[in-house]
Structure 1
């Protein structure tokens, strides 16, 4: 699976997973907004739709990343969780992007069998403009 990283383009950080029949993307603004809803990451699945808000957990395992959504805010009104499965091991670059560029360190946890050398501590924070 091909993964594209976008760093601070038009005030947005994004990660896009290229799928056989489309894409799955997570985006967030690099600055904090007064409207809390705008501070939530936007999750998008090809032309099926996008959603801002509801993401409550990220579980990182050796070959998989699982996103957990609030029961009342399921992704596209259907999915309480989404799993992204990789052919190769999840690397530190991918983990760092989730933690320090999507700013999800507060809701990210590691599976018991995840390599400790690839764990990342959140060091970047967003500020108001």
Structure 2
């Protein structure tokens, strides 16, 4: 099963309580992707967190692909035991800021991919890594 979300608002959270997050707000729900700003000794604590409304899951995402107006997250382990794909549709084009946030604030550059719709100048590579706490 797939989950499609029409994001009305996108919020960026920079280093609040040692966490970076991006929130996609719809008319009746919210989807967030978050991670710690530092590496922990416990590997489980370093997993990216995915939250849909009040339910959360750590890890399991195998690919994040950017299109001109949408972001598609593919899960190797179904998100919340239900969703193989989460498609986030944005009201405007996917900005360089969003792409940079995923790569250098959520630290998921190793699973980011770009469709042909994304201009070359907007394709950002991960250049920042988390430091051990």
| Cα distance per residue 1:48-72 (max 9 Å; x no partner) | x1101101110011111011111xx
* 1:67 match: 73
- Superposition TM-score, scaled by structure 1 size: 0.94
Name stretches of at least 5 consecutive residues in structure 1 with no aligned partner: none
* 2:22 match: 15
| Cα distance per residue 1:10-38 (max 9 Å; x no partner) | 10000001110021111100111122121
* 1:29 match: 36
The count of aligned residue pairs is 126
Partner SS, residue 97 of structure 2: helix
* 2:123 match: 119
- Superposition TM-score, scaled by structure 2 size: 0.91
Aligned with residue 52 of structure 1, among 49, 53, 58: 58
- The answer to whether residue 86 in structure 2 is matched with residue 79 in structure 1 is no
Name stretches of at least 5 consecutive residues in structure 2 with no aligned partner: 1-7
Aligned with residue 98 of structure 1, among 102, 111, 114: 102
Aligned with residue 5 of structure 1, among 2, 6, 12: 12
CA RMSD of aligned residues (A): 0.9
